[in-house]
Amino acid sequence: MADKNAHLKGRRRYKADLADMEEACAAGIVIEQGYMIKKLQPGDEEGAIELIICDLEGQHVLSLNLLISDTSDYPKNHVFFPSSPDTGLPPRLLNVVEGVLDTAQPIRQTIQNVISTLARANTGTTPQGFRSQEVEFDDDDSSIDDYGAFDQFDGLDLSPTTVSKFDLQTLQNNFVETVATGYRPGLLHFADDDFAVSISLPVITLAKSIPPRALMAWDRRLLSRSQHLTLLISGFRGVYPPLDSSGAYTTLAQHSMSSLKFKVGLTKRYKPGKEYAKDAGRTFGLIVPDAEDEVRMQAEKALEDIEYDCDAYCYSAETMQAPAQVEEEDVEDDGSFDRFSLSSSLETLLDQALLKVIQLRRKFGLGWAGAELLLSEMEKTQTTAEILFGTQRELILAADREEIRLGRTNDLPHDPLSGLGQDDEVNITLTTFSYLIRRLSLCPRYCIVCHDRLNTDYEALKPYVCDSKLCAYQYYSFNRGPSLEYEIIHNPETVDLLISITHSAASEQVIEEPLPIGMGLRVPPPDMTKIRHPPTPPPQSPYALPVPPVPQQVAIGLDGMCDFDDLSLPMMSASIVQLIDSLPSVEDMKKHLERKIKAGKLKPKLKDLDPKVLPAAWSILRWCVASCTAHLEEITSGEESIKNLDPGWRQFRFSVGSPDAEAKFKAAVTAAQQRSANALEFPSLYAFHGSPLKNWHSIIRHGLWYKSIANGRAYGHGVYLAKEGNLSMSTYAQSGRSIWRKSKICPTNCVALAEIVNLPEQFVSQHPHFVIKDTHWIICRYLLVKGTIESNFDTVLPEPVRNPTPLVKLDPIHPTTLGNKRIEIPDPSYQIHALLEARREEYREEENDEEDLAVFQANISVSQVIDDGEDFDMDVDMDYMDSYNDYEDYRDSKLVTSTEKGKAAMILPFTGDDWKHDSDWVLRSIENLLPPLSEANPSATMAVQRELKSMLKEQESAKSLRELGWYMPPDLIGDNLFQWIVEMHSFDENLPIAGDLKARNLNSIIFEIRFPPTFPIGPPFFRIITPRFLPFIQGGGGHVTGGGSICMDLLTSDGWLPSYSISAVLMQIKLAISNLDPRPARLSADFDRPYGVQEALIGYKRAAATHGWQV
Ligand SMILES: [Zn+2]
């Protein structure tokens, strides 16, 4: 992209190049070869540039002013005249300054050359803090670009004495921690010694913490197939970990010019394919491209231009892949990294703010919200963090407290920075992903462009922009919102409805914020005769419009047009009506977009449909759709539609209000059920809410309840709903006086059907309307729109279906009727549940690929994994591990001789506070246990009885249970001799698994032991019932298989010896679980989900197959 201004020459090229450089500097200080450009700005004169170069500690190195002779000579024949305002420059710096004169290069290259000369001039005296570390890992200067670390990585043997740029051990620790939090890390190692890291989460798992209806509203593609939300971090430049404990780049990272870049998208697999990852991570930096790069970039640019045109209507104009229409053809490409509606917004947030926010958190001990507020204030006021933290401490801390409150109703992700020690390094992989999930969960609360908190008194379902004009401009001109073209193709009726209600609101002069201002619209002077009604707000209404300002003189340009933003509100309304009237029908737009095109030809664009339509009209159309923060989708299947409804009504699925509205509503329903037996049987009521057509433009943007109080207070304050639809419709849902003539659906009336908590005695009023004060008690489900309906609309003839949507069980005391006919309402959450279920069924757990297995299995010495290994008897354990692969020795020397040595290593001295059996815990855990699958024979029975006696004897005679390390609850012995329940407990407290058990308050690991009819010739089968361990493929260890069985050679028919005692085997299993090689055993995020019956059976069969058993 270095030559993206190549088509320009002279002054314009100069301006464009300078603007790019300014932008690069404004986005963050540019770091280059051990220096940073702290400031870069145009000087007072045309052709003047001022910049300040610092070292990485922020120490001033050089101020440089450049003045170009004549910008029309730029970029090839100009001369930069350099000077420096710094006094007393040493000769080497003077040389650097003067060196600029020799070249006639573009701005970027000129500055690059200055820095290179500076780096050369300073060899041996590079900025402080720089050399010391470098010397440690290599004292040869030329090795700066030596990415030798990866050679070691390939060999998977990272010797602890090697200090290298790539610390595999830290990566492994970070990956394991990421997995333990429930996310899936991945490494993508590129051929050129760089790498990227991906972190992902299946969207179905995401749907457990973010309400699925919100996910659907943000981008319906999120749930359109089984896929992952994936973050890709690149720009490491071979260095890991890139950040130190303060969240700043390590000197090693600065040295290597690491500059992290973040990409957010959807992948079918748990990580993107390498080609896609590489494309996504390609960055724009201050690097002089070599010839090969130049060729590659040119090719890419050419490709991009084509893609831009082809995909212009697929999502954002940037790099959206997977265009809507070719989705089906694309599904085979498993590696693709697809963007979705929030990708750009989240990426710019991460690129611009993440590291700064982390640093503020680390420095001031703040939470995410506090640090975000501090950063935003710093940028607004250009004040230092210290000063602001001093003056605004209370506000900043209040933001953190508010987030804690927020966490009670929103399922916010685990925060890896909370509780992190002062000197602990930041796990950038996990931290970034947690921050991403947090911001995604809370996205409607922030401006999608500038990322600041919105100051609205309602929370929308979908994210939108703040009221800054700049944000609106960027949102619309870069298509940051939902794709209009996608909506026209997939949701034409909704688009039609949105245009129509905007038209109605504008015609009747009730349109208000958000207005389409800041979009740079050039419009014809409005025709005021189009306005039918001057606004006549009821005088007492708190929501009355401000008195319209006196229309000012509008400046009309040479093009005969004026700036929309300069118009008065009534004129804006008139202009909106005029622009909408000039649009073709949505049907025509859809036909145009869906026109078949020959391969290689560009896809049709909306603006080519009718050259007479002004660009401003297309922008208004985009605004009508993209400013709608509710979710509306027409129901076209008879099965999902409301029954007994007059066929003149179109039905839309309708969601409005904050993403967690559903959760709040459910909580209210549950509370009501504790108070009312009737609510227990019929949890909710359904009622209608009507409002004149002209108000719906505002209602779907601000929420149903925001305005509705204006409808009258005859029956008290609150939201008015009616059980009988006609009451709502005739009284409140007045038809519009003006309609958009091109509308196919021609809406005349709108009415919402809402679900309400069935506790009418708590309502403000019950007759003739329900009047409800608490808005959490109401949730919108459907929007009914009266208008033109084609005769073949299928609600008229509901077709028989195999799996009909269940109907809501309506309370007979308060029937919902329309024209005195009882209506039947399909369960509104059924569809989304069915969708989630389908995604869940499609989802396949993937194994780690070789690259990730290599990370997890990398052989890192035990002493390094345990931070504080003092109490851990390493000798014995290492001894155990050494012999682990040599089972002959192992059996003879240890197992049969009752493992005295092993016991010594694992069991702590008895200190009085012995482990206690908790029978509730065990009984709860074995509820769903399968009965044994095989019959026993007499010799097996005798052998098992002998084992049992010996076990109980050992248990009774143990000095302490803690020393014993296992426990057989005597109350569970007897029912079935061949099925034992044994608890394992009292792990060395330095082990990660011990910490996991303690943190989750789990008393023990519960085992089932099954004896085969061939016992003691055949081995018993050991498996864990609960808690669930982190599977090996996700980074778990401890020789526990995915189904909970134990993977040890001595338990296979080949490895088993009849002389083994069960207690000795238990001890070996305990050692295996305690074994940190290749990775420590950890509990899974869903540790409390016992290994299920089905799973156990599969695991059992798998184990049986390996063991050569008959099942
Ligand atoms: Zn904004």
Q: Helix/strand/coil (H, E, C) string of 964-1022?
A: HCEECCHHHCCCCCCEEEEEECCCCCCCHHHHHHHHCCCCCEEEEEECCCCCCCCCCEE
pLDDT at 811 over 80: yes
Residue 65 has a pLDDT of 87
Q: What is the pLDDT of residues 355-378, one digit of tens each?
A: 999 999 999 999 999 999 999 999
pLDDT at 816 over 50: yes
CA of 790 to the centre of ligand 1 (A): 42
CA of 518 to the centre of ligand 1 (A): 12
CA of 468 to the centre of ligand 1 (A): 6
CA of 965 to the centre of ligand 1 (A): 59
CA of 563 to the centre of ligand 1 (A): 21
CA of 302 to the centre of ligand 1 (A): 33
CA of 701 to the centre of ligand 1 (A): 17
Interatomic CA distance for residues 1062 and 868, integer angstroms: 32
- Model confidence band, residue 29 (pLDDT cutoffs 50, 70, 90): low
CA of 982 to the centre of ligand 1 (A): 59
Residue 394 has a pLDDT of 92
pLDDT at 800 over 80: no
Percent of the chain surpassing pLDDT 70: 76
CA of 515 to the centre of ligand 1 (A): 14
Residue 128 has a pLDDT of 36
CA of 352 to the centre of ligand 1 (A): 14
Return the exposure string of 151-178: e unless at least 16 CB atoms fall within 10 Å of the residue's CB, then b: eebeeeebeeeeebbbbbeebbbbbbbb
pLDDT at 882 over 60: no
pLDDT at 310 over 60: no
Q: Which of 101-105, 557-561, 702-706 has the lowest mean pLDDT?
A: 702-706
Higher pLDDT pick, 721 / 456: 721
Token representation of residue 934: 């095989």
Interatomic CA distance for residues 440 and 219, integer angstroms: 12
- Model confidence band, residue 895 (pLDDT cutoffs 50, 70, 90): very low
- Model confidence band, residue 793 (pLDDT cutoffs 50, 70, 90): very low
CA of 986 to the centre of ligand 1 (A): 54
pLDDT at 550 over 60: no
- Mean pLDDT of the region 619-645: 87
Q: Which of 255-269, 273-287, 672-686, 1031-1045 has the lowest mean pLDDT?
A: 273-287
pLDDT at 31 over 80: no
- Mean pLDDT of the region 339-356: 91
Angle between helices 492-507 and 615-626 (to 10 degrees): 100
CA of 40 to the centre of ligand 1 (A): 25
CA of 534 to the centre of ligand 1 (A): 32
Residue 860 has a pLDDT of 54
- Model confidence band, residue 705 (pLDDT cutoffs 50, 70, 90): low
| CA 779 and chain centroid, separation | 26
- Model confidence band, residue 790 (pLDDT cutoffs 50, 70, 90): low
pLDDT at 539 over 70: no
CA of 473 to the centre of ligand 1 (A): 10
- Mean pLDDT of the region 711-740: 70
Q: What is the pLDDT of residues 1001-1038, one digit of tens each?
A: 899 999 988 888 778 878 888 888 899 998 776 777 77
Interatomic CA distance for residues 751 and 687, integer angstroms: 10
pLDDT at 234 over 80: yes
pLDDT at 621 over 90: yes
Return the exposure string of 311-348: e unless at least 16 CB atoms fall within 10 Å of the residue's CB, then b: bbbbbbbbbbbbbbeeeeeeeeeeebbbbbbbbbbbbb
pLDDT at 499 over 90: yes
Residue 729 has a pLDDT of 64
The model carries a pTM of 0.61
Residue 888 has a pLDDT of 31
CA atoms within 13 A on the CB side of 602: 11
- Model confidence band, residue 931 (pLDDT cutoffs 50, 70, 90): low
Residue 287 has a pLDDT of 33
Q: What angle do CA 14, 19, 21 make, to 5 degrees?
A: 100
234 Rama class: left (phi>0) / alpha (psi -120 to 50) / beta: beta
Return the exposure string of 35-52: e unless at least 16 CB atoms fall within 10 Å of the residue's CB, then b: bbbbebeeeeeebbbbbb
- Mean pLDDT of the region 949-969: 88
Residue 745 has a pLDDT of 86
pLDDT at 1058 over 80: no
CA of 472 to the centre of ligand 1 (A): 8
Residue 446 has a pLDDT of 92
Q: What is the pLDDT of residues 200-212, one digit of tens each?
A: 999 999 998 899 8
CA of 339 to the centre of ligand 1 (A): 22
CA of 452 to the centre of ligand 1 (A): 6
Q: Which of 206-220, 873-887, 1064-1078 has the lowest mean pLDDT?
A: 873-887
Q: What is the pLDDT of residues 140-152, one digit of tens each?
A: 333 333 333 333 3
Interatomic CA distance for residues 463 and 701, integer angstroms: 11
Higher pLDDT pick, 500 / 1078: 500
Residue 557 has a pLDDT of 81
Higher pLDDT pick, 787 / 157: 787
Q: Which residues have a Cβ under 8 Å from the Cβ of 110 and sit 6 or more positions away?
A: 66, 80, 100, 103
Token representation of residue 83: 């000077």
- Mean pLDDT of the region 775-795: 75
Residue 590 has a pLDDT of 92
CA of 726 to the centre of ligand 1 (A): 42
pLDDT at 543 over 60: no
CA of 416 to the centre of ligand 1 (A): 28
- Mean pLDDT of the region 206-224: 88
pLDDT at 502 over 90: yes
pLDDT at 893 over 70: no
Residue 221 has a pLDDT of 84
Taken as a whole, the chain contains a residue count of 1111
Percent of the chain surpassing pLDDT 90: 18
Tokens 């701005």, located at residue: 107
Strands (E), 43-154: 48-55, 60-68, 80-83
* Mean pLDDT value across the chain: 76
CA of 366 to the centre of ligand 1 (A): 23
CA of 471 to the centre of ligand 1 (A): 5
Q: How far apart are the first and last CA of the chain?
A: 63
CB-based contact 799:773 (threshold 8 Å)? no
pLDDT at 331 over 50: no
Interatomic CA distance for residues 768 and 724, integer angstroms: 10
pLDDT at 616 over 50: yes
CA of 475 to the centre of ligand 1 (A): 9
CA of 469 to the centre of ligand 1 (A): 8
CB-based contact 649:729 (threshold 8 Å)? no
- Model confidence band, residue 589 (pLDDT cutoffs 50, 70, 90): very high
pLDDT at 606 over 90: no
Residue 669 has a pLDDT of 92
Q: Which residues have a Cβ under 8 Å from the Cβ of 649 and sit 6 or more positions away?
A: 784, 785, 786, 789
pLDDT at 325 over 70: no
Q: What is the pLDDT of residues 167-191, one digit of tens each?
A: 888 898 898 888 877 899 999 988 7
CB-based contact 431:447 (threshold 8 Å)? no
Interatomic CA distance for residues 969 and 992, integer angstroms: 26
CA of 454 to the centre of ligand 1 (A): 8
CA of 779 to the centre of ligand 1 (A): 29
